[in-house]
Amino acid sequence: MTLAAAGGAPPRRFWRVLLAAGVLGALSAAALPPLYGLPVLVVAIPGLLALIGTSTRARDAFWLGCAFGFGHHVFGLYWITDAILIEAADFWWFVPIAVPGLAAILAPFIGIAALVAWFVPAGWRRVLLFAAVWMLGDLVRQFLGGGFPWNPWASVWAFPGVAGEIMLQPIALVGTQGVTGLTLLLAGLPALGRRGWLAGAALLVVWAGFGAVWRARPAGAPPGITAILVQGNVAEGDKWSPERAVTIFRRYLDLTSEGVYRADQGRTVSGHADSGHADLGHGGVGQTLVIWPETASPYPLLDDPEARRAIAIAAGGAPALVGSVRRGRDGRPRNSLIALDGKGDVIGVYDKYHLVPGGEYQPQWLPLPVDIVPGGGFAPGAGPKTLTLPGLVPVAPLICYEAIYPHAIVDEAARPRLLVNITNDAWFGNSSGPRQHLAAARMRAIEEGLPLLRAANTGISAAFDAHGREVARLGLGQTGIKLVAVPGALPPPPFARFGLLVPLLLGFAAIAVVIGVGLARKWEISGHQFKT
């Protein structure tokens, strides 16, 4: 079937309309982190809805949605190319395939939203239905083919400052997918003209009002833990070099020793560390916790007691959470977090279970002429886990990519009081990738009502409280440490208790409203004609 036949329009005209939809999708990517160009949404979404309204056939609307989605994801995910270029000698051929190919896989989710919206007349019902189906598509996207829920539109509110904090708070109620749906509804209302603008302004006021009230809820008492986030800033090209292993390990040990010294000095002098090197508050006393990033140790810690003892000495007898590769009984590697006590003994192990397709394992659904992950890659772990460490609050570890999955990070049977995200974003250079990844981690803190500590190899290392407020940061490309007084936790918010059921019910409720109003109008018209 040709595009002309599918769209019912002359080929040249249809290509121009498809191009316009693609340009609108690319424009919408400017609203994502780190640009946060929110005004583009009231151009991009009404523009797509207008193009859907000009479509003469349902298939036409679907292709327009796909074109929009393709443009959106190509520009929103361009940073993936940076990872490929690190190994350009072997994978140069993959550069023109990776981002467009992934964008083509994700685009139909938006195409389906456009297709379904086409079946109702232009007006508020089309806007609501479009937002609802897109939101449900994001839910499906979390699970299909291993899942890739990157860049949800809720993240457009993750900009710095109080305003961003306020606008993110509904995530605690309806989750990231729910706020994505609200964002699409808000962006689409201007398509209705003056009344739409007024309705959008009213929704914005209610949204901000709820956010301000929720943000004011007090958290529980801080647990009295001083966390030391260690950022080694090791270039990806050096990370696995045997010649560099000793240098890299010593760098992490030296930074750890410096962090412990500053934490001790801060307690002794004033109860908080020097402001030039730390963000300690009054809760930063008592136990110290050292956190190294994902795969920070160049040595496999489970098999290297000398390396473990060296970490224990550098940590001054404090427990440490360290990223390290380990091998299971099957011989396959695991991307792991190793918990060490003050003597360097292993007191907990967590294996990453949400692996990166094409990066950490070879997915069967990815048809490539060669294996881009030799040997099948990493073996996945069992799932979310809570580590109970002596003298510390229960901890839920997240390794890198796992921080992008709503309601898939906590063992509900043993709820933690602290989220720890270790990651290695060195693959993505100074691009939007590390910033978008950070925004995702921040949203997990709000959803779960738990503080989150993030240690990243090259940055951005940061800490967020249970409301998603940033309390510490060590920027991209910096070598150093950050001391953080771990904030207190909130009681489980509605999304933490009910999970993905919340946005799922919201989506189906919106669809039911659209169908119900449509049927009521149809019966009203039929009844009027019968009387006549």
Q: What is the largest CA-CA distance in the chain?
A: 92
Residues 369 and 231 in one domain: yes
- Residue 280: the pLDDT is 43
DSSP E strand boundaries for 52-102: none
Q: 245: pLDDT confidence band, cut at 50, 70 and 90?
A: very high
89 or 226, higher pLDDT: 226
Active site residue 66: no
pLDDT at 423 over 50: yes
How far apart CA 247 and CA 257 sit, in angstroms, is 15
Helix axis angle, 58-76 to 95-118, nearest 10°: 140
| Percent over 90 (pLDDT), the chain | 73
Residues 263 and 151 in one domain: no
Residues 184 and 126 in one domain: yes
Residues 406 and 470 in one domain: yes
Q: 474: pLDDT confidence band, cut at 50, 70 and 90?
A: very high
Residues 62 and 110 in one domain: yes
- Residue 5: the pLDDT is 40
Task: Give how far the C-alpha of residue 139 lies from the chain's centroid of Cα atoms, to the nearest Å.
Answer: 14
pLDDT tens digit sequence for 213-232: 999 999 999 999 999 999 99
Q: List Cβ neighbours of 494 (8 Å cut-off, separation of 6 or more).
A: 172, 173, 174, 502
Residues 196 and 233 in one domain: no
Q: 277: pLDDT confidence band, cut at 50, 70 and 90?
A: very low
Q: 86: pLDDT confidence band, cut at 50, 70 and 90?
A: confident
How far apart CA 129 and CA 116 sit, in angstroms, is 8
Select which of 239, 400, 402, 482 is catalytic. Answer: 400
Active site residue 294: yes
pLDDT at 1 over 50: no
pLDDT tens digit sequence for 119-168: 999 999 999 999 999 999 999 999 987 788 999 999 999 999 999 999 99
pLDDT at 275 over 60: no
Beta strands 418-423; 452-456: pairing state: parallel
Q: How far is CA 399 from CA 179, 200, 229, 337, in A?
A: 24, 38, 15, 8
pLDDT tens digit sequence for 373-387: 666 688 889 999 999
Residues 144 and 106 in one domain: yes
- Residue 329: the pLDDT is 86
Structural domain including 41 reads 3-216+500-531
Give the CATH number for residue 423.
Answer: 3.60.110.10
Helices (H) and strands (E) in the chain, counts: 17, 12
pLDDT at 197 over 80: yes
Ordered strands of the 287-291 beta sheet = 278-279, 480-485, 225-231, 287-291, 320-327, 333-340, 346-351
DSSP letters spanning 291-347: E--TT--SS-GGG-HHHHHHHHHHTTT--EEEEEEEE-TTS-EEEEEEEE-TTS-EE
- When divided into structural domains, the chain yields a total of 2
Residues 450 and 505 in one domain: no
Q: Which of 377-386, 394-403, 490-499 has the lowest mean pLDDT?
A: 377-386
pLDDT at 111 over 90: yes
Select which of 165, 236, 294, 447 is catalytic. Answer: 294
Residues 9 and 153 in one domain: yes
**C-beta atoms surrounding 404 within 10 Å:** 26
Q: 272: pLDDT confidence band, cut at 50, 70 and 90?
A: very low
- Residue 374: the pLDDT is 62
Torsions phi, psi for 451 (to 5 deg): -65, 150
Residue owning tokens 């049927």:
519
- Residue 330: the pLDDT is 86
Active site residue 306: no
Judge whether 475 and 482 are in contact, CB under 8 Å: no
Judge whether 296 and 252 are in contact, CB under 8 Å: yes
Judge whether 227 and 287 are in contact, CB under 8 Å: no
- The pLDDT of 84-98, averaged and rounded, is 73
* Nearest C-alpha neighbor of 146 from the set 337, 442, 404, 371: 404
Select which of 352, 402, 447, 448 is catalytic. Answer: 352
Residue owning tokens 């299971």:
328
Q: 117: pLDDT confidence band, cut at 50, 70 and 90?
A: very high
pLDDT at 313 over 80: yes
Q: What is the average pLDDT score of the chain? A: 88
- The pLDDT of 264-276, averaged and rounded, is 50
Which residues partner with 388 through β-bridges?
A: none
Residues 481 and 521 in one domain: no
Residues 491 and 510 in one domain: no
Q: 239: pLDDT confidence band, cut at 50, 70 and 90?
A: confident
Residues 263 and 328 in one domain: yes
Q: 3: pLDDT confidence band, cut at 50, 70 and 90?
A: very low
Task: Give how far the C-alpha of residue 218 lies from the chain's centroid of Cα atoms, to the nearest Å.
Answer: 25
How far apart CA 310 and CA 305 sit, in angstroms, is 9
Torsions phi, psi for 512 (to 5 deg): -65, -40
Q: 270: pLDDT confidence band, cut at 50, 70 and 90?
A: very low
43 or 274, higher pLDDT: 43
